[in-house]
Amino acid sequence: MASVLQKNGKSEMLLGNIGVPIFDMIDEIKKDTILVLELSSHALQYIKKSPNIGILLNIFEEHLDHYKSYEEYIDAKYKVFKYQKATDYALYNIDNEVISSKQVETKATKIAISMKNQVSDIVLKGNKIYYKENKIYTDDGKRHILGEHNLNNIMFVLMASAILKLDFELTKQAINEFMPLEHRMEYVGKFEGVDYYNDSIATIPEATINALETLKNVNTLIIGGKDRGVDQSKIIDYLNNSKIENIICLPKTGEYIAEGMKNKKTYLVQDLKEAVKIAKEETKKGAICLLSPAASSYGYFKNFKERGNLFKEYCEGISAKKV
């Protein structure tokens, strides 16, 4: 969204959980600055003011080591709408199972966005997105951010653009020009005939499944990280029914995943360097090796960035020359 605002000539700042603390930039914020804030559940838990445009993309099991219950975590996420006024807007993904089952309580104008339901102001028909029956975006293969989940994200960006009365043509250009962020299905390179992707930001099973659905030609998956009490059965079932041949499992959640694998070549390793070494030996030429942990990095790495950077360093070490 920040790139869209910039393309439209607006003064903007991208702050929050994305990596730049809000208060670090407090003196730089002007009266006309539009703030794009990525707020974690931890930050939302303590807010006393909600944004003009609040967006809730999804809710899955996460941070269960921090909250007393899953319900408490859900309530923290919903606080993005709690203090909104009648002049505000609440955008939420009705396709998400949790969000569809829990009513959004807010004074703001509520806008449910769906890739399946055709009753919203903004709808997806085939590969085209319509706003109030006017075609505003065609998914014609020009975007760099891949996957159906990113198309869903684009619908939210377009809806926010409509609320802010931005130029749809400039918005479309910004969307198609936007490059994937580091550690988010980031292409590392081709080494000895294998394509390596870094998806270290994937800290829940659903994110890893999205990456696998998007990349498709994954032959080796490196998975596992801190155990935060998240149910692993969904990713275990998905992997058992996938065509992925090599599952390389890191502590701690990787241990549970390894136990659940059937008819898969499974490797339980102690560190990321060993995982990349095995990936080099086992991954088929012309296929993909993907790091997508489906778990937090904490306890083993400083954060997901350190994990991703080490993965890239180890991949680079496979060969001095990209093939």
Domain spans in the chain, listed from the N-terminal domain onward:
2-177, 186-316
Write down the pLDDT at residue 61: 83
Phi-psi region of 29 (alpha: psi -120 to 50; beta: other; left: phi over 0): beta
For 158-214, what is each residue's pLDDT tens digit? 999 999 999 999 999 999 999 988 999 999 999 999 999 999 999 999 999 999 999
Q: Which of 62-71, 85-94, 224-233, 297-306 has the lowest mean pLDDT?
A: 62-71
Q: Write down the CATH number for the domain with range 2-177.
A: 3.40.1190.10
Write down the pLDDT at residue 319: 57
For 77-99, what is each residue's pLDDT tens digit? 999 999 999 999 999 999 999 99
What kind of architecture, by CATH, is found in domain 186-316?
Alpha-Beta Complex (3.90)
* Cis before 252? omega within 30: yes
* CA-closest candidate to residue 152, choices 103, 214, 223: 214
Write down the pLDDT at residue 197: 97
Residues 191 and 318: beta-carbon distance below 8 Å? yes
